[in-house]
Structure 1
Amino acid sequence: MRELPVLSIVIPCYNEEKVLPVTAPEFLGELEHLAGRGKISKDSYILFVNDGSKDATWDIIKNLSLENPHFRGISQSRNRGHQNAVLAGLMDARKRADITISIDCDGQDDIHAMEAMVDAYHGGADVVYGVRSKRTTDTFFKRFTAESFYRLMNWMGAEVVFNHADYRLLSSRVLDALAQFKEVNIFLRGMVPLIGFNSTSVYYERHERLAGESHYPLKKMIALAFDGITSLSIRPIRMITGVGALISVLGLIAILWAIIMRVSGNTVDGWASLVCIVAFLGGIQLLCLGIIGEYVGKTYLETKGRPRYIISERTPGENVREKGNIDDRSNLL
């Protein structure tokens, strides 16, 4: 009989003092439910990752760990962003758990979908994506921008699962493969599909945030999309090449036309048209330089090889692995 897997529920937290007391008992209840039904080991646990919160989030996590041994926590030395926080939790759980489920702590993702994810794992899946079945609770603007985000990502060459964020189950061998990805610019939604292995999806309805405020306004969504595209695809560079070739052809035609008009003596003063052309080409050139500069900047950051996160503290009772041990690379990634 197959040994029951140890599950680690990885939950990134940034300034979540209002919502944590509400959702932590729900996560614990689902963990106990799965263990009680014999689907996961009773040694399974919940791992909170404090992403440099400025409020009482870390104090709440420490208190939770003292109240119940199924609660654990690690704290980053500073705020490094949602994706780095998720990665920190996944890599910390890699040598302690057989499977991980990453989920946000705001209660919007349906925690009861975890059971279907674990069932899919027992059925042979190494990756199980949590996918929103519909967006009826979203405003038109939110729905339009979110769906446009996924379409833009795929069109630009960054392979992502439509309507999937960071709610997913990963097996230990997928985590081992993910640990081999060394890039500093992290976009897990696009990196996980690159790993491969047998995957499936579980569909669920998303709820309203239980407390607190969203940390992903439109500005951050646009920044996330731009980071994902430039981290996973070179299609924008190729598009620049195509635009440059097209403008060159049009420019050559315009030069020939100007020569013909000059020879025929039909030229007139063209100040307005000249200004328009210069302004248009100047704008295109600056845009192209900006996109190229983004890639150059990312290359610069990658060559530095800086840590993607640094764990500064663990909840009481957490055993820190021996310094220098290969299993403790989570502090250095």
Structure 2
Amino acid sequence: MEKSPVLAIVVPCYKEEAVLHEAHKRLSQLLNRLITEGHISPKSYILYVNDGSTDRTWDIIKDLHQNTPYACGLNLAGNVGHQNALMAGLNAVKERCDAAISIDADLQDDINVIPEMLERYREGCDIVYGVRRERKTDTFFKRTTALVFYRLMKLMGAKSVYNHADYRLMSSRAVRQLCRFRERNLYLRGLVPLIGYQTACVYYNRDKRFAGESKYPFKKMLNFAIDGITSFSVKPVRMIFWLGCIFILVAVCVTIWTLRAYFLHNTVPGWSSLMISLWLVGGAILVSLGIVGEYIGKIYIEVKDRPRYNEEELLLR
């Protein structure tokens, strides 16, 4: 009989005291069922990663570890962001499981597709993406910006799975390969497809948040999008070159028009065209400098090679 795999469920948490008990209840019930049916090993567990929360999140994780089955905890010394916290959790379980599933604590991702993920894993897939069928629970603004972002990522040449966030199953060898990536500007949705192992997708409907507030306001979403684009493509820098060529062409046309008007003694004051040109070219220069500066800033962060996170306490069974 084939040995049942040890499954680790990695749950990054930031100020999630309102949902942790319910999340652990549902995940524990699912693990109980999967263990009873022989799909996973009784050694399977859930690792909650506390990303420097300032509420009672870590106290609740410690209480769950002491008084309930399956619960383990990793406390980070400070807030390092969702992607780094998730990477810290994956790094902690890479030698302690056969497969790992990453999922957020807000109970929006459907845990009932985990058995299907495990089925794809048993069929030989090292990576199984959880993909949303639709985005009806999102606002019109969020749906539109998400669509624009995914299309922009595709245009820039970055590999990504449409409507996939960070809900996925990875085999232990895929997790170890992911941990070899040393970028500080993490965008896991773009890194995971670079691993190259066999993949599959399972589809689900996303629920509304059970409790608490979203930890991804517009500002964080915008920064996340910028990280995703600039971490996987140099096309914005190349676009600056072509933008410069366009402006040179416009300048040549304006010069010919100006000389023609001068020799025909048909000159006009020209203040408006001058001001428009100055503003247009000045804006283009500032935007170009901003794009180049974004890349230089990332180089600055990477070359310092500082640790991405600091583990303060690890609770295992």
TM tier, shorter chain? over 0.9
How far apart are the structure 2 equivalents of 1:135 and 1:181? Answer: 31
SS at match of 1:97: coil
Contact 1:48 1:74 in 2 (8 A): yes
Contact 2:76 2:311 in 1 (8 A): yes
How far apart are the structure 2 equivalents of 1:299 and 1:135? Answer: 35
Which residue of structure 1 aligns with residue 230 of structure 2?
230
Q: Deviations over 1:41-62 (max 9, x none)?
A: 1101000000000000000000
Count, aligned residues: 317
In the TM superposition, 1:96-115 aligns within 5 A as 96-115=96-115
Report the Cα offset of residue 216 of structure 1.
Answer: 1.2
Which residue of structure 1 aligns with residue 276 of structure 2?
276
Which residue of structure 2 aligns with residue 83 of structure 1?
83
Structure 2 residue runs without a partner (length 5+): none
1:162 is aligned to 2:194:
no
Tell which deviates more after alignment, 46-55 or 23-32: 23-32
Which residue of structure 2 aligns with residue 13 of structure 1?
13
Structure 1 residue runs without a partner (length 5+): 320-333
Contact 1:153 1:225 in 2 (8 A): no
In the TM superposition, 1:284-295 aligns within 5 A as 284-295=284-295
Report the Cα offset of residue 160 of structure 1.
Answer: 1.1
SS at match of 2:111: coil
Which residue of structure 2 aligns with residue 4 of structure 1?
4
In the TM superposition, 1:240-255 aligns within 5 A as 240-255=240-255
Which residue of structure 1 aligns with residue 311 of structure 2?
311
Which residue of structure 1 aligns with residue 128 of structure 2?
128
Instruction: Give the letter aligned to residue 159 of structure 2.
Output: E
Which residue of structure 2 aligns with residue 194 of structure 1?
194
Which residue of structure 1 aligns with residue 119 of structure 2?
119
TM-score computed with the length of structure 2 as normaliser: 0.97
Report the Cα offset of residue 165 of structure 1.
Answer: 0.3
Report the Cα offset of residue 69 of structure 1.
Answer: 4.3
Contact 2:87 2:179 in 1 (8 A): no
Which residue of structure 2 aligns with residue 239 of structure 1?
239
Contact 1:178 1:195 in 2 (8 A): yes
Which residue of structure 2 aligns with residue 65 of structure 1?
65
Which residue of structure 2 aligns with residue 153 of structure 1?
153
Q: Deviations over 1:49-85 (max 9, x none)?
A: 0000000000000000001341100011100100001
* Aligned-pair Cα RMSD in Å: 1.3
Tell which deviates more after alignment, 116-125 or 259-268: 259-268
The percent identity for this pair of structures is 50
Contact 2:28 2:69 in 1 (8 A): no
Contact 1:126 1:197 in 2 (8 A): yes
Runs of 4+ in 1 over 4 A off after TM superposition: none
How far apart are the structure 2 equivalents of 1:36 and 1:150? Answer: 40
Tell which deviates more after alignment, 169-178 or 123-132: 169-178
Q: Deviations over 1:67-119 (max 9, x none)?
A: 13411000111001000011110111101111000000010000111111011
Instruction: Give the letter aligned to residue 269 of structure 1.
Output: P
Which residue of structure 1 aligns with residue 219 of structure 2?
219
Tell which deviates more after alignment, 278-287 or 220-229: 220-229
